[in-house]
Amino acid sequence: MNHLSYHEGEREVQGRAGVAGDGLAAEEMYHPAMGVGVQRFLSAQNLAVFSSMDAEGRVWASLRAGAAGFLRALDEYTVEIGGQSHPGDPLLRNLKQESPAGMLVINLAARQRLRLNGTGQLAEDGIVRLTVNQVYGNCPQYIQAREAIPLNNPSSKFAEAKHRAGLEDRFREWIEKADTFFMATAHPESGLDASHRGGKPGFVRLEDSTHLIFPDYPGNNMFNSLGNITAYPKAGLLFPDFETHAVLQLSGAAKILWDDPRAAEFTQARRLVEFEIEKAIELPDSIPLGFEFRSYSPHLR
């Protein structure tokens, strides 16, 4: 599979959206390795989100964070990710053997983000090693600025993970007050990918205990995530709670709602995405840093 071109799912969505040929040329965006600038960027960051797949074909989004330096490029193809994962995070099982994986590295304060896709494996020392075959940057749109703040007394213990088939009522407020979440998607041949989604609180709507919807805003017309779910509908969502340091992981199936009239209820929405929850995991104490809110994205209206 050529990792430096658009796959059939992305091309299908581009065509349906009426932007085929108008988006960013794949050969100009995708790179097979990490240049010096990318390696320097990684070394200064403190937040990374992974996409991985479990043995049942479910896709999960997972978060790791740490002080600058927890991401380290060994060469132009290999990056080590330190930090730690909650013992209940599926990432630990999914990467016991070398497997397809994607990683989003994001600087919330500077509204900068970078995607690195390839294969990952968890080493015995807890470090994840990612071998990349696709590297590319994304625009700063829809990122809410947050400043990373070291915690005075970071927790060294993890409260027990809580598994759910659906969502309890208390999760409605968590989801519907969110201005940031992360999405993991997959393609059967090109691999896994992690992306960022942002909006004003309320841009994610929980329809019932197992279904939620969110808008797809105008972007760079690459349609990586939507192209993936067109080809393989399994996906994972991760909602961080920057105040309590917990994360909510959802795994299920996503689909594009092209002509749903509810899109008119979301300012700027071009279309909607519906997500059906199959598994939910609440992981307390998963964010070892504080992230203080600074401002909403100027692209949001």
Average of pLDDT values for 93-99?
97
pLDDT for the residue numbered 28: 76
The pLDDT tens digits of the residues spanning 216-229 come to: 998 888 899 999 99
pLDDT band (50, 70, 90) for residue 166: confident
Mean pLDDT of the chain: 93
**Of 168, 226, 219, which is closest to residue 198 (Cα–Cα)?**
219
pLDDT band (50, 70, 90) for residue 146: very high
The pLDDT tens digits of the residues spanning 170-201 come to: 888 999 999 999 999 999 999 999 999 999 99
Q: Do the beta carbons of residue 203 and residue 214 sit within 8 Å? A: yes
pLDDT band (50, 70, 90) for residue 19: confident
- The whole-angstrom separation of Cα 191 and Cα 185 is 9
Average of pLDDT values for 75-81?
98
pLDDT above 90 as % of the chain: 81
Tokens of 120: 């990952």
Please give the span between the terminal C-alpha atoms of the chain, in angstroms, as a whole number: 39
pLDDT band (50, 70, 90) for residue 212: very high
Instruction: Count CB atoms within 10 A of the CB of residue 157.
Output: 6
* pLDDT reading at 154 higher than 70: no
pLDDT for the residue numbered 240: 98
pLDDT band (50, 70, 90) for residue 52: very high
Lowest mean pLDDT among 1-10, 35-44, 63-72, 138-147: 1-10
**HEC string of the chain?**
CCCCCCCHHHHHHHHHCCCCCCCCCHHHHCECCCCHHHHHHHHCCCEEEEEEECCCCCEEEEEEECCCCCEEECCCCEEEECCCCCCCCHHHHHCCCCEEEEEEEEECCCCEEEEEEEEEEECCCCCEEEEEEEEEEECCCCCCEEEEEECCCCCCCCCCCEEECCCCCHHHHHHHCCCEEEEEEEECCCEEEEEEEECCCCCCEECCCCEEEEEECCCCCCCHHHHHHHHCCEEEEEEEECCCCEEEEEEEEEEEECCCHHHHHCCCCCEEEEEEEEEEEEECCCCCEEEEEEECCCCCC
* pLDDT reading at 202 higher than 60: yes
- The whole-angstrom separation of Cα 151 and Cα 292 is 11
The pLDDT tens digits of the residues spanning 103-140 come to: 999 999 999 999 999 999 999 899 999 999 999 998 89
pLDDT band (50, 70, 90) for residue 301: confident
Which domains, and CATH codes, for the chain?
8-295 (2.30.110.10)
- The whole-angstrom separation of Cα 228 and Cα 214 is 17
pLDDT for the residue numbered 27: 72
pLDDT for the residue numbered 258: 97
**HEC string of 231-280?**
HCCEEEEEEEECCCCEEEEEEEEEEEECCCHHHHHCCCCCEEEEEEEEEE
pLDDT for the residue numbered 1: 58
- The whole-angstrom separation of Cα 1 and Cα 98 is 18
Pseudo-torsion of CA 86, 91, 96, 101, nearest 10°? -150
pLDDT for the residue numbered 167: 84
* pLDDT reading at 257 higher than 90: yes
